[in-house]
Chains A and B, each alone.
Chain A
Amino acid sequence: MMPLTLISTAFAKSPLGSAKAFHDYQSGGNALLEFGATLAIGVALVLVYYWFRRKK
């Protein structure tokens, strides 16, 4: 569990994880923040994927 706990702690201390709006489910801004963050991390993962698969 250690790596997962580390990830969780790191996220909680990140600008997104510590932003009050991110945890306020009743606000529309929260959903937009989460959607944006999901998309951004997803795109970053795609870039990592293609970087690893690049022809050397």
Chain B
Amino acid sequence: MLAALSASLALVPWWMAPLPFPAQLALAWLGYWGLHRFGHPARFWLWWVLGFATLGFRWAQPAIQADDYLRYLFDGQLVLQGVNPYGLVPQDLPLYQTFWTPKGNIPTIYPPLAEGIFTVAAWIALGLPGLRLLSALALMFLMPLAFWAWPKAKAQRFLLLVLYCPLVQQELFHSAHVDVWLLPLLFGWYLLAKGKRSVAAGGVLGLAVLLKLSPLVLFPLWAVGISLRQRWWAALGLCGVLALGFGLFYPQQPFSALALFYQSIEGYSPFYRLLRWGLDRETARLALASLGTAGYLIWLARNPQLDHLFWVFAGLFLFTPTGFPWYLAPLLLVPKVGWPSWWVLFCALAHLQYYLLWPYGWALELGLLAFGWFQTLYPQRSSA
């Protein structure tokens, strides 16, 4: 049935494909504004279903701003064929002649669990719509977690704010970035860590790291706030899951390709853009990452609370040259009563950088600076 639906939607002329995009975005913003203005809606299920309907509206449309999904599907095809994606370069493969993929000159940078999701997507054989189905599934996993963790009203409010967040709708669903799976995984980690279930929390954090390496930065921040005994158990859970995941592809691994990616990609970090006005790429990268490292170490020494740890993802966005808007998605999990907060709005707005990029390059720079300062200053104000 899904295949038939996909095929029928594919009949839409290509020039009409972007048309639903502004309508969908407007709908998302309307829903988001409604939540912001009127608060908790009386009919949660109606809004929940409507939220997924807005996603479904663009389910089979081409991706407008992203091509990462092509690499996802390429990798999935390789794994389905029994090929280790870490051991080769796409450009050297016959498949590349018929299936173009971005970053075709380096082996894949995605960790093993991400490769597993790509394999499922390739197996479904629906292409980008298949990846989007998996993204919707990841968002649905948030529902049992939220209802289990929080009172009904708070859980409902959180779920709708995530679902209607334009960053989620655009980057995690429409562009199908695999980061969407960080939301249920990191939410699960947070709940387990809060409940002092160290081994399980370490294991779930390990799964998140197997999806994307960046959540590894959470571990030291979390570990300094728990007892020595819990720390060992947490490390055991984390290392066990990581060994299992990376062991599946041994002896190949994604680290060297990731280093190459880190050194060759220029993302959207506002601070990086600022430094690039006067510095060459290497100096800017080193200066920014050193500042980020210093901030991280100082934060670490202050023994941060578990509830604040998701802020580290703002740091990853701001202080790495590879910062992309969807790196901010885990910020939506910052557990604080009284959503929507400024950071939710910021996350919702962050992906608008893309729209400014092409026609208004100068506005992009100003916008990025404003975003950067806003995001940096807000936590200080709120804690003052």
Which stretch from B77-85, B123-131, B276-284 is at the chain A interface? B276-284
A34 touching B263, Cβ below 8 Å: yes
Q: Cβ of B218 < 8 Å from any Cβ of A?
A: no
Q: Identify A45's interface contact among B256, B278, B291, CB under 8 A.
A: B291
A41 to B290, CA, bound (A): 6
Residue of B whose beta carbon sits closest to that of A50: B298
A34 to B302, CA, bound (A): 26
B278 touching A4, Cβ below 8 Å: yes
Q: A48 → chain B, closest Cβ, in Å?
A: 8
B298 touching A46, Cβ below 8 Å: yes
The binding surface of chain B is classed by DSSP as helix
Given known contacts A11-B286, A31-B259, A49-B298, is B277 in contact with A4 (CB within 8 Å)? yes
Q: Cβ of B334 < 8 Å from any Cβ of A?
A: no
B256 touching A41, Cβ below 8 Å: no
B283 touching A11, Cβ below 8 Å: yes
Q: Identify A38's interface contact among B256, B264, B277, B289, CB under 8 A.
A: B289
Count CB-based A-B contacts (< 8 Å): 74
A25 touching B260, Cβ below 8 Å: yes
A1 to B293, CA, bound (A): 24
A38 touching B293, Cβ below 8 Å: yes
Query: Which residues of A sit under 8 angstroms from B263, Cβ to Cβ?
Result: 25, 30-31, 34
B297 touching A43, Cβ below 8 Å: yes
A42 touching B259, Cβ below 8 Å: no
Q: Identify A25's interface contact among B264, B275, B277, CB under 8 A.
A: B264
Q: Please, how many residues of chain A have a CB less than 8 angstroms from a CB on the other chain? A: 26
Query: Which residues of A sit under 8 angstroms from B279, Cβ to Cβ?
Result: 4-5, 7-8
Q: Identify A17's interface contact among B275, B283, B292, B298, CB under 8 A.
A: B283
A8 to B294, CA, bound (A): 20
Q: Cβ of B143 < 8 Å from any Cβ of A?
A: no
Add 14 more A-B contacts to A11-B282, A17-B283, A38-B293 (CB < 8 A).
Answer: A1-B277, A4-B277, A7-B283, A8-B280, A11-B283, A12-B283, A25-B264, A30-B259, A31-B256, A31-B260, A38-B286, A38-B289, A42-B292, A43-B293
Q: Can you list 19 A-B pairs with a CB-CB distance of less than 8 A?
A: A7-B283, A7-B287, A8-B278, A8-B283, A11-B283, A12-B283, A25-B264, A28-B259, A31-B263, A34-B259, A34-B263, A39-B293, A43-B294, A45-B290, A45-B291, A45-B293, A46-B294, A46-B297, A46-B298
Which residues of B are interface residues toward A (Cβ below 8 A)?
256, 259-260, 262-264, 275, 277-280, 282-283, 285-287, 289-294, 296-298
